[in-house]
Amino acid sequence: MKNKKRIQPSADKARKRVSKHLEQINLYAAGIDIGSQMHYIAVPAELDDQPVRSYSCFTGDLKKMADWLVEIGINTVAMESTGIYWIPAYELLEEYGLEVLLVNARHVKNVSGRKSDVLDCQWLQQLHTYGLLQGAFRPPEQITSLRAYMRQRETLKRYAGSHIQHMQKALRQMNLLLDNVVNDISGKTGMTIIRAILSGERDPDKLAVYRDGRCKKSKEEISQSLHGHYRDEYLFSLKQSMQLYDVYQDQIQACDIEIEKLLGEFDSKGDVNSLPPSKEKKSNSAPAFDVRSELFRMTGVDLTKIDGISEFTALKVLSETGTDMSRWKSAKHFSSWLGLSPGTNVSGGKILSKKTKRTANRASSALRMSAFALSNSKSALGAYYRRMRSRHGSPKAITATAHKLARLIYSMLKNGTEYVDQGQDYYEREYQDRVLKNLKRRVAEMGFKMIPAKNQENASLDGATC
């Protein structure tokens, strides 16, 4: 039997199929190659005689660039997230009413087919025309402002922490072992003693009188640790470190005032009067104002009911994600954006790796810290963390617990539901029931039957038992 000749599709049908796959979605799209001094812009050749132009980063030139794009009818723009140089251009183009996509440079690089003689801006414009680019998450304007304040506060806290280390070094050089008798020299006892030393006090017994009543060490132990060798150069270093620490503390308080004022501008979704008082101790690193009440008014839910989530952690997470969870299709998408979901590196039906992707997401870091704080918690989440730690080790247990925290936050914000902790005993019972159910299923598949130990003596020997 002769082989039948394969019938080739007609040219029109083939062209129709190909054109369907290569359909131009964004006809009025532009691509911008962001630089530190110059921005290069590419638009469709049909819209302008000079489709590729360059503009400097001065504000006046950025406005000329935006005017040109609006004049020729551009309605969407794609740009790479290059350092922080994209921020002024992004915000200015948004003010002009253009849709701006902030694109990950790694995603652009992974799209093959680029020719060497094509500029970066032309390549971005081409990909965006065919709808091959996805914009990164950019929160609303209010959340963007809150995020900027929170990141500035975090920077100030880090600088202040470095000066605490400088104070501790100066004390050690004088053999004043204050850090051996107090947990934190920036606490009330430590700071009062350091200020007294800088005021000229050298008597250890008189310095020990400044011990706070909550300090675990006695006055005698503190006095012994304060017999030192005072030198002018070390005292000078200690004095300057203290002064710089005070400066940063003042700046942190000013930042907290701005954060409180900004939070008050958000729309209200919950009645603060219905919020019960908190039983948790306020963190020393948290702002001085009532963060929990402000967050409840903004969201309508109390995120601090989730074990491990403090009011300051909730503020840090919301400053990065916002309160609108509709930006993500599901809790899985939200967890993936945070970099907490398992990887999906699969080839040929074989799982090559489940490792989570590396990310610098600040919300993810805050959730990981909260997960680590659950190591001694008697809640269901604490029991979950300890069980995961015993099976996979601490790093994976932290990621898994942070993943669960992220899903809880997503559910509460999107659905307005409250979180109720069932306790570690409930979690252990549920875990035992799952293990027992799986054991019964596996034993039944092998043709055996499980009998409880207390009933084993009275069980009939009709068949084999396990």
Instruction: Write the CATH number for 76.
Output: 3.30.420.10
Do 114 and 161 sit in the same domain of this protein? no
Tell whether 367 is covered by a domain. yes
Report helix, strand or coil for 188: helix
Q: What single string gives the DSSP state of each residue in 327-379? A: GSSSHHHHHHHHT-SPP-EEETTEEEE-PPPP---HHHHHHHHHHHGGGG--S
Do 383 and 277 sit in the same domain of this protein? yes
Segment 102-130, tens digit of pLDDT: 988 777 776 666 666 568 899 999 899 98
- Bigger pLDDT: 115 or 377? 377
Tell whether 11 is covered by a domain. no
Do 279 and 407 sit in the same domain of this protein? yes
Q: What single string gives the DSSP state of each residue in 379-436? A: SHHHHHHHHHHHHH-HHHHHHHHHHHHHHHHHHHHHH-PPP---HHHHHHHHHHHHHH
- Across the range 391-399, mean pLDDT stands at 93
Do 233 and 279 sit in the same domain of this protein? no
Give the global pTM.
0.81
Tell whether 12 is covered by a domain. no
Do 102 and 83 sit in the same domain of this protein? yes
Do 298 and 389 sit in the same domain of this protein? yes
**pLDDT at res. 444:** 83
Euclidean distance between CA atoms 268 and 264, whole angstroms: 9
Tell whether 294 is covered by a domain. yes
Do 166 and 213 sit in the same domain of this protein? yes
Task: Give the Å distances, CA to CA, from 147 to 80, 99, 139, 457.
Answer: 21, 22, 9, 66
Do 276 and 413 sit in the same domain of this protein? yes
Tell whether 135 is covered by a domain. no
415 is in which domain, residue-wise? 272-345+359-421
Per DSSP, 131 falls in state T
Confidence grade of residue 447 (pLDDT, cut at 50, 70, 90): confident
**pLDDT at res. 293:** 92
Tell whether 461 is covered by a domain. no
Domain C-terminal end among 263, 283, 307: 263
**pLDDT at res. 357:** 79
Instruction: Reply yes or no on whether the pLDDT at 451 is more than 90.
Output: no
Euclidean distance between CA atoms 305 and 319, whole angstroms: 19
- Bigger pLDDT: 383 or 279? 383
Segment 331-344, tens digit of pLDDT: 999 999 999 988 77
Do 302 and 417 sit in the same domain of this protein? yes
Instruction: Reply yes or no on whether the pLDDT at 17 is more than 60.
Output: no
**Beta bridge pairs of residue 263:** none
Confidence grade of residue 411 (pLDDT, cut at 50, 70, 90): very high
Residue 449 in contact with residue 465, Cβ under 8 Å?
yes
Identity at 231, one-letter amino acid code: R
Domain C-terminal end among 203, 230, 263: 263
Residue 39 in contact with residue 58, Cβ under 8 Å?
no
Do 412 and 438 sit in the same domain of this protein? no
**pLDDT at res. 14:** 55
Number of domains in the chain: 4
Segment 171-224, tens digit of pLDDT: 999 999 998 999 889 989 999 999 999 999 999 999 999 988 888 888 999 999
Domain C-terminal end among 129, 160, 193: 129
Do 122 and 27 sit in the same domain of this protein? yes
Instruction: Reply yes or no on whether the pLDDT at 461 is more than 50.
Output: no
Euclidean distance between CA atoms 119 and 329, whole angstroms: 35
Structure tokens at 80: 């790479």
Tell whether 462 is covered by a domain. no
Per DSSP, 305 falls in state G
- Across the range 383-404, mean pLDDT stands at 92
Do 121 and 176 sit in the same domain of this protein? no
Tell whether 229 is covered by a domain. yes
